[in-house]
Chain A
Amino acid sequence: MVGTTVDEQTEMHSQATVVPPRLEVAEDRRGAVEDFDQLPSEISVRDLDFFYGKEQALFGNSIEIKKNRVTAVIGPSGCGKSTHIRAYNRIFNLYRDQKAKGEILFDGANILSSQIDLLDLRRRIGMIFQKPSPFPMTVFDNVAYGLRQHYRMSRSDLSNRVEDALKRSAIWDEVEHKLNEPGNALSGGQQQRLCIARAIAAEPDVLLMDEPCSAIDPVGTAKIEELILALKNKYTIVLVTHNMQQAARVSDYTAFFFQGRIVEFGPTTKIFSNPAEKQTEEYITGRFG
């Protein structure tokens, strides 16, 4: 705050609640008009605690992820957004010292139970990562990876499904003639859409997106946001984002995380126009974070 005086800063604080800058949320966002409790939940999280070794990162997270809706997860860096969704597909199991406690109900079973078949869980709950991570193989083989892993099918069926997944990921026109080229020869934004195609090819129910646009330029970001809006008719999407405009643009519901706790969760329209909690208000108006 070089240039402003101490007095001015205090003044800004006292005025904050009077005229906070607002983000525009599209009027047709479903969260605004529907009855939350009547909607079917895809995933119900109850009292989720998460530990990195002895350090606790999530505290009693409870949230309902609604079917065929986009749920945005926002909050400052290190608040536990990514940690939270990384519990949904148990990807944290890769690291020995990471542990989750509580319940994540999905299709009638607790995801965190040792009875869960991880391979099938991860087929049904796909994930897109921050950094586009195409596998070291051709565009075609990238998209076919999950199909080959989980299904038996003829070669023609396979290539039809690959084409279909690429079309649904709005990237077919760009890679139609590059199917046999390496996946990481594509641009960053294309790689990310390729990863989305790879995930949806396996016919999941849920897509977890962990800051999918943070390494992508604005044009690529716009395409991915459009894609998210198109995909929500078929999939339940959980979107972690640093970008509040993005949350406002694409999500139906928004959860605000702070220091490992879910401070507020509700329709995106409400979170961005009339948050109940002071911390949410301060975060979305750019006061901190």
Chain B
Amino acid sequence: MSTVAEVRSAPPRRRSIARRKATDLVIKVFSWIGAWFGIAVMAFIVWEVVVRGAGALSIAFFTQPTPQDVTSTAGGFANAIVGTLVITGVAALIAIPAGFLGGIYLAEFGRNGRVATAVRMIANVVMGVPSIIVGVFAFAIIVKPVHHYSGFAGSVALAFIMLPVMARTTEDILNLVPNEIRESGLAMGAPRWKVTLGVVCKAARGGLITGATLAIVRVAGETAPLLFTALSSPYWMTGLFGPGGFFEGPVANLTKTIYDFSGSPYPHWQALAWGGALVIIIAVLGMNILVRLLFQRGKEW
């Protein structure tokens, strides 16, 4: 009678424990350095912008348009702030519904079909296109045919950047919803669209809102796409149409104005540019932190 214990061969040679611990330590130290390097760079940028920009923030900064007289120390960034809000808002109105529906198609209906695979690949490629190319594209399809720059052209350029981000984020988030949820909905005799919108998207709504917000934040700080489209303006936007209107004229915006003012030789203008940079950073960071705080906890809900 040969037992299992008897036929066992000699134990294999053990690996060095000291060496394993050393490797562990090295990896730990390097990842620690890597993480803190990133955080330090971020902190340095925020610190620098806060120190230099805080002084420029005043009531006038948020209420008065950009100064045209280089000698005066009056004026603010109000027209640029409003312009950025409008341009980004219209871009979101175009891109978020379209991207959301596209993401639903990719995750729920197209899945691994040929069309979905092609759409997914194109979306990935478009996400990698440099934003200035997108600006030139919007220039070619909107600015050139109508012969004038416009805030709307800027919105289209930004929407073009947001669209694939929104679609892919939506797809990724919907893919996190377990299939049992879909099956349970269908097993109740509900049609597919109702299950998708009323159950699957509802289960993922925290993630979807976070995704949409991050897509907005992603383009809020873009400059290049606006260079060829919204351009900039020292005036208030005067409405929808006409030379100073959203659809027919250049519209002031934060990033392009920061770009112009920071390159100017006038100290007051430079100070305003720092103030504008601070406003953008606060808005972008604030929105990031806000959506994370709101939706991180109730992930399932």
Binding site for B on A (CB under 8 A): 1-3, 5-7, 89, 91, 94, 96, 118-123, 126-127, 129-131, 133, 135-137, 145-146, 149-150, 182, 184, 195, 198-199, 202
Contact B202 A199 (CB under 8 A): no
Residues B186 and A91 in contact, CB atoms below 8 Å apart = yes
- By beta carbon, the residue of chain A nearest B111 is A96
- A127 partner residues in chain B, CB cutoff 8 A: 183-184, 187
Other contacts beyond A146-B189, A202-B189: 20, CB < 8 A: A91-B187, A94-B182, A94-B186, A118-B189, A120-B189, A121-B189, A122-B189, A123-B188, A123-B189, A126-B188, A127-B187, A133-B180, A135-B184, A135-B199, A135-B202, A136-B300, A146-B190, A149-B189, A198-B188, A202-B188
Residue picked from B1, B185, B189, most chain A C-beta under 10 Å: B189
**B180 near A131 (CB under 8 angstroms)?**
yes
Chain B residues with a Cβ closer than 8 Å to the other chain, count: 27
Enumerate chain A residues within 8 angstroms of B301, measured Cβ to Cβ: 136, 182, 184
Chain B residues with CB under 8 Å of A96's CB are 111, 113
Q: Give chain B residues whose Cβ lies under 8 Å from the Cβ of A91.
A: 183, 186-187
B178 within 8 A of A: yes
CA distance A175 to B149 in the complex (A): 61
Cβ contacts under 8 Å, A149 to chain B: 188-190, 194
Q: Is the CB of A7 within 8 A of B1?
A: yes
Nearest CB in chain A to that of B183: its residue: A91
CA distance A145 to B187 in the complex (A): 11
Provided the pairs A3-B4, A5-B1, A131-B178 are in contact, do residues A136 and B203 lie with their beta carbons within 8 angstroms?
yes
- List 16 interface pairs A-B (beta carbons < 8 Å), by A numbering: A5-B2, A7-B1, A89-B187, A94-B179, A94-B182, A121-B189, A133-B178, A135-B199, A135-B202, A135-B203, A145-B188, A146-B189, A149-B194, A182-B301, A184-B301, A199-B188
Chain A residues within 8 Å of B182, by CB:
94
Is the C-beta of B38 less than 8 angstroms from some C-beta in chain A? no
A31 to B205, CA, bound (A): 48
- B118 lies within 8 A of chain A by Cβ: no
Q: In the complex, what distance in Å separates the CA atom of A280 from the CA atom of B1?
A: 32
Q: Which of A6, A136, A150, A202 gathers most chain B CB within 10 Å?
A: A136
Q: Is the Cβ of A137 less than 8 Å from the Cβ of B183?
A: no
CA distance A264 to B239 in the complex (A): 79
Q: Which residues of B contact A137 (CB under 8 A)?
A: 202
A residues near B199, Cβ cutoff 8 Å? 135-136
Judging by beta carbons under 8 Å apart, are B184 and A129 in contact? yes
**Is the Cβ of A122 less than 8 Å from the Cβ of B180?**
no
A63 to B173, CA, bound (A): 41
- A262–B139 CA distance with the chains assembled, in angstroms: 67
* Distance of A120 Cα from B189 Cα, bound (Å): 6
Closest A-B pairs by Cβ, 4 of them: A122-B189, A123-B189, A127-B187, A133-B184
**Chain B residue at minimal CB-CB distance from A126:** B187
Q: Tell me the nearest residue of chain A to B200, going by C-beta.
A: A136
Cβ-defined contact, A119 with B189, below 8 A: yes
Q: B194 to chain A: which residues have CB within 8 Å?
A: 149
Binding site for A on B (CB under 8 A): 1-4, 111, 113, 178-191, 194, 199, 202-203, 205, 300-301
Contact of A122 among B181, B186, B300 (CB under 8 A): B186
Min CB–CB distance B32 → chain A (angstroms): 37
Please tell me if the beta carbons of B3 and A5 are within 8 angstroms of each other in the complex.
Answer: yes
Q: Closest residue to B188 on the A side, CB-wise?
A: A146
Residues of A near B188 (CB, < 8 A) are 122-123, 126, 145-146, 149, 198-199, 202
- The CA of A157 and the CA of B159, in the complex, are separated in Å by 47
Q: Which residues of A contact B185 (CB under 8 A)?
A: 135
Q: A238 → chain B, closest Cβ, in Å?
A: 13
A184 to B178, CA, bound (A): 14
A7 cross-chain contacts in B, Cβ below 8 A: 1
Using Cβ atoms and an 8 Å threshold, which residues of chain B touch A136?
Answer: 199, 202-203, 205, 300-301
Partner of A150, one of B2, B187, B189, B205: B189
A127 CB to nearest B CB, Å: 4
Docked-complex contact A94 and B203, CB < 8 angstroms? no
Neighbouring B residues of A3 by C-beta, 8 Å = 4
Question: Inside 8 A of B111's CB, which chain A residues have their CB?
Answer: 96
A120 to B188, CA, bound (A): 9
- Complex Cα–Cα for A1 and B4 (A): 9
Contacts of B183 in A (CB 8 A): 91, 94, 127, 129, 133
B189 touches A2 (CB 8 A): no
Q: Chain B nearest CB: distance from A5 CB in Å? A: 5
